[in-house]
Structure 1
Amino acid sequence: MAPKFVLVALVSVLALLVGEIPTKVSAVTAVTEPAPTYSTISIVGEIFCKSCKLTGYVDYLDASPVDGVLVRVSCFDKNWNYISNYANSVPGGFFYLSWPDVANFIPERCGVYVDWSPLSYCSKPIYGPSPVGGAELYLVSEKNVTGGTEATYSPGVIYVERERWNVVCPNS
Structure 2
Amino acid sequence: MAFVPAKALLLVLLLHCFPVLSHGADSVSMAESPHHNAPSYPPVEAPKQPKSSPPAPSQPPVQPPTQSRVYTPSPAPLPQRSFVAVQGVVYCKSCKYSGVDTLLEATPLVGASVKLQCNNTKNPLVQEAKTDKNGYFFMMGPKSITNFGSHKCRVTLATSPMATCKKPTNLHAGLQGAILMPQKQPPVTSLPKQQLPPYQLFTVGPFAFEPSTKCPH
Q: Give the TM-score band, short-chain normalised.
A: 0.5 to 0.7
The reply to whether residue 154 of structure 1 matches residue 203 of structure 2 is yes
Aligned to 1:40: 83
The 2-side partners of 1:142 and 1:89 are apart by 19
Consecutive unaligned residues in structure 1, runs of 5 or more: 1-13, 19-31, 54-59
Q: Is the 8 A contact 1:51 1:62 kept in 2?
A: yes
Q: 2:128 aligns with which of 53, 65, 86?
A: 86
Q: How has the CA–CA distance of structure 1 residues 117 and 150 changed in structure 2, closer, same or farther, with 3 Å as cutoff?
A: same
CA contact (8 A) 1:44 1:155 kept: yes
Whether the 8 Å contact between 1:142 and 1:150 is mirrored in structure 2 is: no
Distance 1:134 1:37 in 2: 26
Query: Larger % of helix: which?
Result: 2
Q: How does 1:7-156 map to 2 (within 5 A)?
A: 36-51=79-94, 61-77=104-120, 79-99=121-141, 100-103=143-146, 106-128=149-171, 133-141=176-184, 150-156=199-205
Higher relative contact order (CA closer than 8 Å, sequence separation 6+): 1
% of aligned pairs identical?
Answer: 25
Moved >4 Å (runs of 4+) = 32-35, 145-149
Q: How far does the alpha carbon of each residue in 1:3-58 deviate from its partner, in whole angstroms, 9 at most, with x for none?
A: xxxxxxxxxxx9x969xxxxxxxxxxxxx9787333332111110011169xxxxx
User: TM-score, normalized by length of structure 2?
Assistant: 0.49
RMSD: 3.6
**Alpha carbons of structure 1 residues 76 and 118: separation in structure 2 relative to 1, 3 Å:** same
* TM-score, length basis structure 1: 0.60
Structure 2: tracts of 5 or more residues without a match: 1-64, 69-74, 97-102, 187-192
Instruction: State the SS of the aligned residue for 2:111.
Output: coil
**What is the CA distance between 1:107 and its match in structure 2?**
2.6
* CA shift in 2, pair 1:126/1:48, >3 Å: same
Higher relative strand content = 1
Name which one, 1 or 2, has greater alpha-carbon Rg: 2
Alignment correspondent of 1:28: none
Contact 1:38 1:102 in 2 (8 A): no
In 1, are the aligned partners of 2:91 and 2:209 still within 8 Å (CA)? yes
